[in-house]
Structure 1
Amino acid sequence: MDPVNHTWTQSFILAGFTITGTLRPLVFLGTLCIYLLTIAGNLFIIVLVRADSGLSTPMYFFISVLSFLELWYVSTTVPTLLHTLLHGCSPISSAACFIQLYVFHSLGMTECYLLGVMALDRYLAICHPLRYPALMSRQVQLWLALASWAAGFSAALVPASLTATLPFCLKVVVHYFCDLAPLMQLACMDTSWHARVHGAVIGVATGCNFVLILGLYGGILKAVLKLPSAASRTKAFSTCSSHMTVVVLFYGSAFTVYVGSPGSRAEGTDKLIALVYALLTPFLNPIIYSLRNKEVKEAVRRTTNRIRTILRET
């Protein structure tokens, strides 16, 4: 039987986290609550942006696109995490494993591109305010959003397809979902070439976008420091603070896992770090963009008053 067919006829076992005793149901319930709150929070952002005309700006359009992405991103891995927390080691078919691998990395790379687009939006709004409406028209917004999704799902084809064609001798994936490094450790052959290709593709998707974001924020900082008053500088920085927080959380944890040698870290470290960008960041995004944003708070008040008025009239 050739290696490719052998790969697709076997199943894997997700090891998950080693949690025993009474702690397991508590961790399961805590994770479930975070997952449900993540879904609710991101749906809240999407509905609010759609419902309130005061948020019909490019910045909030991209925030709503990010929230939509986070719904799928968190749902790609957390149900698997919940299953392993509840039942321990869980079998997963090879087809489901490689689909999860592809979708997870597609959404992750899409988020990288989208965070770069959001930085570009802030740069144009602050550095070119007079031309901003024309530069960031509705058509341009849609094109940038679609381009981010297309680029992310295209780039992830390379590492996912290369990993799927490996011959596997072992079954136990030392993770709570199917990721590149844990799967490559199960291969029957030397995967150093595959690792270099994966590093190049993911490095271009994440590294280039990160450099772009740094460059754009460098231009923003230069422009803001030239503003005449402290109040105007504070207002300009406040529109970027939420996005910068999300960038640090996402890129900081992702770089730790995907840059460098996995063998240099203690076993199980990648699983813990993965929780930051796969669960914690999608959970915190709605909080960061709502609690730290006056416009969102005002939109919530307007929407709440509108609903109360409708209820009184009925």
Structure 2
Amino acid sequence: MQPVIFGIVLAMYLVALMGNALLVIVALSDSKLQTPMYFLLSQLSFIDIFLTTITVPQMLVHMLSVNRTISFNCCMIQLLFFMAVGSMEGHLLAAMAYDRYVAICDPLRYSAIISRRLCLRITLTSWVVVCLNSLLYSVLVTHLTFCGNQVTHFFCDITPLLKLSCTRPVVNEMLIFTEGVAVVVSPFFFILSSYARIGVAIACMHSIAALHKALSTCSSHILVVLLLYGSVIHMYLRPSSTYDLDQDHQVAIFYTVVTPMLNPLIYSLRNQEVKGALWRLFRKLCISGNFQPSSQANRDWQHIS
């Protein structure tokens, strides 16, 4: 089954790369998408590209290789980047939730509160926090004593490395449930509070059109949040004695491959502005390539949009 699994994972990886890269190009190049929300969406797509690239290429190489090894230093570097990028995704989703909260609950002051400069400051601050958090975990892992060198996982993650330790890593586990909760789970509680307030505002709406618009605005973001935090909570926020590495492999595949592949589809299929931007990009490419889509294709696309 190795060649079959290799082909499936490779296909999902390429779809994730192309989908997220396309979203980044559209969000940064289309004049109608130069808003804080789409700036954050482009950053989320960058994160998804990095997240899959950190783990999946090595897994694909190991599938077809006899020598499935990774040096200790490379393992620690992979752990460092994976934890930083994985944590950063939650912070971006929290910023997007705040953007939706202001847009729905205080629309008249949206332009005064939410700006591209504010989003940039939030992004840079979040990067500093998650990088320091990831560095702390990586340094602590390097000081563990390991009873073997066989990592029961397809990449170097904190869970299998703690499982490989000879002694119970009490300090590491305490950090996961204290400092880790503050950095990783606090954005989740911020998202919940933002959507609780949005829910109250939606309940008070007497306009069916406004209600439908608010729900359509938030539905894609809510789905992405559920996909991310469902995997994270299952993977990391439980004692090491309850770890089931075989089950964790499946969740890790979902978290590192499936979710980054689905995110651009979720945001593009349910967003008329993104679909319009994709169509404008397609027409621009057609014009630069000296051919035009037929009028029937134009009508079909507009009907789909």
Pick from 109, 112, 129 the counterpart of residue 131 of structure 1: 109
Pick from 227, 247, 269 the counterpart of residue 291 of structure 1: 269
Deviation at 1:85, TM superposition (A): 1.7
Ranges in structure 2 where 5+ consecutive residues have no aligned partner: 293-305
Q: TM-score, normalised by structure 1?
A: 0.89
Deviation at 1:270, TM superposition (A): 0.9
Cα RMSD (Å): 1.7
Amino acid at match of 2:7: L
Q: TM-score, normalised by structure 2?
A: 0.91
Pick from 59, 73, 79 the counterpart of residue 101 of structure 1: 79
Distance 2:110 2:98 in 1: 11
Distance 1:190 1:291 in 2: 47
* Match of residue 176 from structure 1: 154
- List aligned pairs for 1:73-84, cutoff 5 A: 73-84=51-62
2:62–2:68 Cα contact (<8 Å) kept: yes
Q: Closer, same or farther in 2 for the Cα pair 1:264/1:297, shift >3 Å? A: same
Distance 1:194 1:311 in 2: 56
Pick from 37, 56, 59 the counterpart of residue 37 of structure 2: 59
Deviation at 1:229, TM superposition (A): 1.2
Ranges in structure 1 where 5+ consecutive residues have no aligned partner: 1-22
The alignment status of 1:300 with 2:278, answered yes or no, reads: yes
Of the structure 1 ranges 261-270 and 23-32, higher mean CA displacement relative to structure 2 is found in 261-270
* Match of residue 152 from structure 1: 130
Q: Closer, same or farther in 2 for the Cα pair 1:88/1:203, shift >3 Å? A: farther
Distance 2:282 2:188 in 1: 38
Distance 1:88 1:70 in 2: 29
* Match of residue 210 from structure 2: 232
* Match of residue 176 from structure 2: 198
Amino acid at match of 1:66: L
2:39–2:116 Cα contact (<8 Å) kept: no
Q: Closer, same or farther in 2 for the Cα pair 1:311/1:188, shift >3 Å? A: closer
Distance 1:99 1:176 in 2: 15
Percent identity between matched residues is: 38
The alignment status of 1:38 with 2:16, answered yes or no, reads: yes
Deviation at 1:228, TM superposition (A): 2.1
* Match of residue 185 from structure 2: 207
Deviation at 1:149, TM superposition (A): 1.6
2:35–2:116 Cα contact (<8 Å) kept: no
Distance 2:249 2:66 in 1: 15
2:104–2:214 Cα contact (<8 Å) kept: yes
Distance 2:287 2:13 in 1: 32
Distance 2:66 2:175 in 1: 33
2:79–2:156 Cα contact (<8 Å) kept: yes
2:79–2:157 Cα contact (<8 Å) kept: yes
